Amino acid sequence: MASSGCYIATDKCVKCDVCVNMCPVTPKAVDWHVGNKKNAPNYIKLRVVIYFSRDRIASSYPY
């Protein structure tokens, strides 16, 4: 399936927690939102978009 943007390859996930721990957004965009670790984590796309938009705006300022 073609996809734009980021995605989690749930069939390859080993539930290691690295992506959840590394997610810099508060509240986390990538998390165990379903409440258990039987499935791969998922992400809330809106939080990812806001984070990258904020980063892009911040980096456009010369000071």
CA-to-CA distance for 54 and 24, rounded, in angstroms? 12
Per-residue contact string for residues 5-24; x = within reach of ligand SF4 by CB under 6 A: ---x----xxxxxxx-----
Nearest distance, CB of residue 8 and ligand SF4, angstroms: 5
CA-to-CA distance for 23 and 43, rounded, in angstroms? 10
Q: 28 with 20: CB under 8 angstroms?
A: yes
Any contact of residue 40 with ligand SF4 (CB under 6 A)?
A: yes
Any contact of residue 44 with ligand SF4 (CB under 6 A)?
A: no
Instruction: Give residue 40's region: left, alpha or beta (phi > 0; psi -120 to 50).
Output: beta
Nearest distance, CB of residue 30 and ligand SF4, angstroms: 7
Binding-site ranges for ligand SF4 (CB under 6 A): 8, 13-19, 40-41
